[in-house]
Structure 1
């Protein structure tokens, strides 16, 4: 599912202030660096998979999506090492993401009011609405903010400039 949430410059700065208050800069920089490295590794593995598929299926480009999926699965069954590496990449990415999210969630009370205000502004809600919504909804909103393309770009730029 595509995350089209747009974070404005003002909202981005507010989020950066919150992250600073929570003392999470280093964890985020390290986590994003590890995630980026793992994503690059994963892309390399998928290029290898695509090469194997094209070697074995001359008509791959003309196949339906279902046929392409079946072809991919067949190649992965023959190349279990590649399949295991892809699974491992996914597990590492999930572990890094879950660790960062856990660190953030456990530190949220340190900047509670600022977080309510930022979420309310980004989602056009009242602060009261955010304060009173179920915790899982708030956490889901935080995840969407963190995964938004505009925030990820903003964060990468901000952390690169501060090095």
Structure 2
């Protein structure tokens, strides 16, 4: 397992923690996330582009398919299709992260998972499939201070892919 030391994400001491990576290989990480219930999908390295066609991949999604794919393509990174039972808030700057945390405090909610990204953070929440929600963006201050709201047929990159580190998982800090 890879470990990275941080001195507090965006100046928040309560998040001062060691960021513990997932299993060393992308294949093991893909299997971990699949076991957690995510619809994982291979991603071309250092991009946000899937290495396979979404629908065909998702129709055949299994631990065996994941294993065979990542044995053949160990450098492919890991993403997932969010689906209708989850919502991911993608804060793209320190201002956007602060605004997201303020909203979480105001409404008394906590994300089940937080991933540090190169520009900000992803905050993960369970969502009732009956709750209508669309993928969209909200500008906090300037255009670079954006919070993207991701749900349904959209893809998010997962750790240990380039620039992604697990900070909080399952109600606990990693």
Asked if these proteins are the same fold (TM beyond 0.5), I'd say no
Please identify which structure carries the higher strand content: 2
* Larger fraction in helix: 1
